[in-house]
Chain A
């Protein structure tokens, strides 16, 4: 059973008239890697900074372990942050930067030295210690910023889009390293990003935020296959959203009617009443596309190809079916279906997710 390390309870924060955090609640398990994911302006950075103690919540509580944190000033919280712009002190050497926090704590010199060597070893930056921050590359600055946080053996490691200033290739390398290091050191880590691929690759848990609220909090798989609402569904990965209506629940699963085509969904969405409006979420890679020949197949929708892109490992098709555009990814494609080819889209019954329709788009 996992223990809760960080608890955020009903936190609100406004800047002037703008409400940036709107009743946010969240439990972060010990040793986990949790990501706050959302578009810019969703409040994710504000939440992170509130945890760090740079902002005081207008209402609500924050607990770290069992300690009530609201009243603890930021410099006494051992919640260390890696800043988006790294915030390396330009007037100190790399070594002085990394050991800054320990020197503030007045730790004995030999202990600082021991920790410095260990931390620098993890990150492979031992040769940079005498340099100034202006003299090293972006990737190196990133590692130094991380070292400066890790050397503190923080209770909570906070990362504010730390990879956003790196080029794409470096980003993927450091991403993998970061994850390995976190798992080895078992530090409870909170990561802020707007990049859903990064979030899926790194996280144990993801909190998707929108307009100051957490709209879905769960594992990457839960978010991907069972998103809480259309926003989450379309923010993470690509998704086809189709309106339909529940007809009945049977032993096999839930039956849905989409423009007089009956589809089986092999998950029990019994909380949805028959006749309820629903939105079907269908991931592009879960759809099989076949040439239309003869009779209509089970769980299949007729349509025709409008466009395609060949991407090597996959072909992405755009298919017009049921008066809307579908995106379908085909792996290991044997043949290419040119535009105007009549096709069936075969939906896997166990891969369709249903969301309550009604007022939502």
Chain B
């Protein structure tokens, strides 16, 4: 109440934040719950086809999570804790997929290891069918390995070095040290990483739609339901099946695992001399990292090659046809670019404002903002996309086929990343900085210009970049809301791949990659080390 009187602008901003979150996050989510009737639930759940897809989803989540987490841990351990050669290179390679479309791995592996695959068929002369659970497992393992590895690196680095020193000092070395000290200390973090990967695997739409063949999973079935039968209620039931576990994992991860962590901050951080790793372990680790990074590099190589080959798999004549086609006419690219710029900017403004207010002010509704800003991270893209499709394609909010519906969906789907980065930064910056400035005689405008703006700049740009890249590369959020009029690139790519037009699909994917990495490069160049990307 006093806020309203003393700081009317703040009060207004808080009102706008809460209203937007209600309308664009909570409302569409609730719509998905309300849309299907009880019989719809029973119909779907009793149908053997969907029972199978539920089992399939469970099965692939367990498999892909285990393999990605396991390999990710080895990868992270090798690049942070050992002296294998090319650690920096391996680290760099593992970051690339974070800025690339998630379905890219599946698409590329079809070109490499499929029936007409470059490696399997052309080089090795094998007849392999990559479509199915094994192809999906393979693609998802490589696709989610980078996230797992990145989280695990953080976990390993947060173990106080003196504990490992103490272990060594008391006679443990090599594997004994790892078994008794390093791993037990990392275990809670590893569990957290596994859950994070599990959420993403469960919600993954791009990889299964391209590579899983007859092996149907819940995410793809939800889309088929709409695409094939125009049965939105059925799709809603299926997407709720995705939401519930991922929401539970999200709550569990946020409120339980994070509290159980052993990580403590001890005053003195000392330089670590990395001990010599045993020779054969060193080579085994090197070989693992080498193979994994090769698998990642191959993804990009194949896409790049694919863009310049006449007919992948049967006619290897080089061509510039697809590149010219894209350059001459591609409404989907223009759309993607525009939508993502608006969504990225909107998301950055919204999430940084929210983060700033939540970390600096005390007010009624603060916890609601905090929770709802992170919530989208737990919403599978399919679920949110469907929510928008249900909520905003009929009066009173008829945005069917407009740019607005895509921009809004992409914007609010991405606020969690920027918000968390912002909170992290603002928590490190003491509010007493502004107080100190005020104490030294600076007026509030001056404080804002000289103290707050420079502090906000870093998190703002990282929020923009991350949101932009996620927006331009996502497929799952947009599949339910794009039409002929507001089609985006990832959607076109999906259709081109399923129709077998690999050349143009590859060329479009490469263009997305060039845009994403180009923007990343420019930002790094302009802002230097101020940008924190993918804080996990």
Expressed in whole angstroms, the minimum distance between the Cβ of A103 and any Cβ of chain B is: 8
Expressed in whole angstroms, the minimum distance between the Cβ of B260 and any Cβ of chain A is: 11
Q: How far is the CA of A101 from the CA of B176 in the complex (A)?
A: 11
Known: A84-B268, A87-B162. A148 touches B262 (CB 8 A): no
Known: A54-B165, A89-B163, A91-B185. A152 touches B266 (CB 8 A): no
Residues of A within 8 A of B168 (CB): 53-54, 74-75
Residues of A within 8 A of B275 (CB): 73-74
Residues of A within 8 A of B160 (CB): 85, 87
- Whether A105 contacts B169 by the Cβ 8 Å rule is no
Q: How far is the CA of A148 from the CA of B167 in the complex (A)?
A: 11
Known: A73-B275, A85-B268, A90-B262. A100 touches B162 (CB 8 A): no
Expressed in whole angstroms, the minimum distance between the Cβ of A290 and any Cβ of chain B is: 49
- Contact indicator per residue, chain B 252-276, by CB within 8 Å of chain A (1) or not (0): 0000000000101011100101010
- Whether A87 contacts B268 by the Cβ 8 Å rule is no
Residues of B within 8 A of A56 (CB): 273
Expressed in whole angstroms, the minimum distance between the Cβ of B370 and any Cβ of chain A is: 28
Residue among A53, A73, A74, A76 with the highest chain B CB neighbour number at 10 A: A74
Expressed in whole angstroms, the minimum distance between the Cβ of A209 and any Cβ of chain B is: 18
Tell yes or no: A269 within 8 A of B by CB: no
- Whether A74 contacts B266 by the Cβ 8 Å rule is no
Q: How far is the CA of A56 from the CA of B274 in the complex (A)?
A: 11
Tell yes or no: A251 within 8 A of B by CB: no
Residues of A within 8 A of B181 (CB): 89
Residues of B within 8 A of A90 (CB): 163, 185, 262, 264
- Whether B169 contacts A81 by the Cβ 8 Å rule is yes
Tell yes or no: A63 within 8 A of B by CB: no
- Whether B171 contacts A76 by the Cβ 8 Å rule is yes
- Contact indicator per residue, chain A 44-81, by CB within 8 Å of chain B (1) or not (0): 00000000111110000000000000000111100111
- Whether A85 contacts B267 by the Cβ 8 Å rule is yes
Tell yes or no: A104 within 8 A of B by CB: yes
Closest A residue by C-beta to B266? A85
Tell yes or no: B438 within 8 A of A by CB: no
- Whether A87 contacts B165 by the Cβ 8 Å rule is yes
Residues of A within 8 A of B320 (CB): none
- Whether B162 contacts A85 by the Cβ 8 Å rule is yes
Q: How far is the CA of A3 from the CA of B173 in the complex (A)?
A: 31
Q: Give the number of A-B contacts (CB < 8 Å).
A: 75
Residues of B within 8 A of A104 (CB): 170-172, 176, 180
Tell yes or no: B13 within 8 A of A by CB: no
- Whether B162 contacts A91 by the Cβ 8 Å rule is no
> Which residue from A54, A89, A152 sits with its C-beta under 8 Å from B273?
A54
Q: How far is the CA of A89 from the CA of B172 in the complex (A)?
A: 13
Known: A15-B271, A90-B264, A91-B262. A152 touches B170 (CB 8 A): yes
Known: A15-B271, A85-B160, A90-B262. A73 touches B173 (CB 8 A): yes
Q: How far is the CA of A105 from the CA of B271 in the complex (A)?
A: 28
Closest B residue by C-beta to A54? B165
Tell yes or no: B184 within 8 A of A by CB: yes
Closest A residue by C-beta to B273? A55
Residues of B within 8 A of A84 (CB): 162, 268
> Which residue from B173, B180, B185, B273 sits with its C-beta under 8 Å from A100?
B180
> Which residue from A15, A54, A148 sits with its C-beta under 8 Å from B170?
A148
- Contact indicator per residue, chain A 112-151, by CB within 8 Å of chain B (1) or not (0): 0000000000000000000000000000000000001000
Residues of B within 8 A of A73 (CB): 173, 275
Closest A residue by C-beta to B276? A73
Tell yes or no: B166 within 8 A of A by CB: yes
Q: How far is the CA of A100 from the CA of B184 in the complex (A)?
A: 14
Q: How far is the CA of A296 from the CA of B162 in the complex (A)?
A: 61
Tell yes or no: A225 within 8 A of B by CB: no
Residues of A within 8 A of B184 (CB): 91
Expressed in whole angstroms, the minimum distance between the Cβ of B369 and any Cβ of chain A is: 33
Residues of A within 8 A of B185 (CB): 89-91
Chain B, interface residues (CB within 8 Å), range: 20 to 34
CB proximity to A under 8 Å, residues B406-421: none
Closest A residue by C-beta to B174? A75
Closest B residue by C-beta to A73? B173
Q: How far is the CA of A96 from the CA of B185 in the complex (A)?
A: 15
Known: A73-B173, A75-B173. A87 touches B166 (CB 8 A): yes
- Whether B165 contacts A83 by the Cβ 8 Å rule is yes
Q: How far is the CA of A15 from the CA of B273 in the complex (A)?
A: 10
> Which residue from B169, B187, B267 sits with its C-beta under 8 Å from A74?
B169
Residues of B within 8 A of A89 (CB): 163, 166-167, 181, 185
Q: How far is the CA of A100 from the CA of B180 in the complex (A)?
A: 9
Known: A56-B273, A84-B268, A91-B262. A75 touches B165 (CB 8 A): no
Residues of A within 8 A of B268 (CB): 84-85
- Contact indicator per residue, chain B 154-167, by CB within 8 Å of chain A (1) or not (0): 00000010110111
Residues of B within 8 A of A54 (CB): 165, 168-169, 273
Q: How far is the CA of A152 from the CA of B184 in the complex (A)?
A: 23
Residues of A within 8 A of B187 (CB): 91
CB proximity to A under 8 Å, residues B158-204: 160, 162-163, 165-173, 176-177, 180-181, 184-185, 187
Residues of A within 8 A of B162 (CB): 83-85, 87
Closest B residue by C-beta to A85? B266
Closest A residue by C-beta to B181? A89
Q: How far is the CA of A54 from the CA of B164 in the complex (A)?
A: 11
Expressed in whole angstroms, the minimum distance between the Cβ of B134 and any Cβ of chain A is: 37
Known: A87-B160, A104-B176. A81 touches B166 (CB 8 A): yes
Residues of A within 8 A of B177 (CB): 75
Q: How far is the CA of A54 from the CA of B161 in the complex (A)?
A: 11
Q: How far is the CA of A40 from the CA of B271 in the complex (A)?
A: 16
Q: How far is the CA of A104 from the CA of B178 in the complex (A)?
A: 12
Q: How far is the CA of A148 from the CA of B273 in the complex (A)?
A: 23
Closest B residue by C-beta to A160? B162
Q: How far is the CA of A141 from the CA of B172 in the complex (A)?
A: 21
Q: How far is the CA of A314 from the CA of B176 in the complex (A)?
A: 57
Q: How far is the CA of A53 from the CA of B173 in the complex (A)?
A: 12
- Whether B170 contacts A101 by the Cβ 8 Å rule is yes
Expressed in whole angstroms, the minimum distance between the Cβ of B179 and any Cβ of chain A is: 10
Expressed in whole angstroms, the minimum distance between the Cβ of A330 and any Cβ of chain B is: 40
Closest A residue by C-beta to B164? A87
Residues of A within 8 A of B172 (CB): 75, 100, 104
Residues of A within 8 A of B171 (CB): 75-76, 101, 104-105, 152
Residues of B within 8 A of A85 (CB): 160, 162, 266-268
Q: How far is the CA of A361 from the CA of B172 in the complex (A)?
A: 49
CB proximity to A under 8 Å, residues B261-309: 262, 264, 266-268, 271, 273, 275
Expressed in whole angstroms, the minimum distance between the Cβ of A88 and any Cβ of chain B is: 8
- Whether A80 contacts B271 by the Cβ 8 Å rule is no
Residues of A within 8 A of B173 (CB): 73-76
Q: How far is the CA of A15 from the CA of B272 in the complex (A)?
A: 11
Closest B residue by C-beta to A165? B267
Expressed in whole angstroms, the minimum distance between the Cβ of A107 and any Cβ of chain B is: 11
Q: How far is the CA of A56 from the CA of B276 in the complex (A)?
A: 11
- Contact indicator per residue, chain A 310-336, by CB within 8 Å of chain B (1) or not (0): 000000000000000000000000000
Residues of B within 8 A of A91 (CB): 184-185, 187, 262
Q: How far is the CA of A76 from the CA of B176 in the complex (A)?
A: 13
Expressed in whole angstroms, the minimum distance between the Cβ of B164 and any Cβ of chain A is: 9
Residue among A76, A81, A105 with the highest chain B CB neighbour number at 10 A: A81
6 pairs from A and B in contact (CB 8 Å cutoff): A80-B170, A85-B162, A87-B165, A91-B262, A104-B180, A105-B171
- Identify the A interface with B (CB < 8 A): 15, 52-56, 73-76, 79-81, 83-85, 87, 89-91, 100-101, 104-105, 148, 152
What are the 5 tightest A-B residue pairs by CB atom distance, in nearest-first order? A101-B170, A87-B166, A75-B173, A87-B162, A104-B171
Extra inter-chain contacts (19) besides given A73-B275, A85-B268, CB under 8 Å = A52-B165, A53-B168, A54-B165, A74-B169, A75-B168, A75-B170, A75-B177, A76-B173, A83-B165, A84-B268, A85-B160, A87-B166, A89-B167, A89-B181, A90-B163, A91-B184, A100-B170, A104-B176, A152-B171
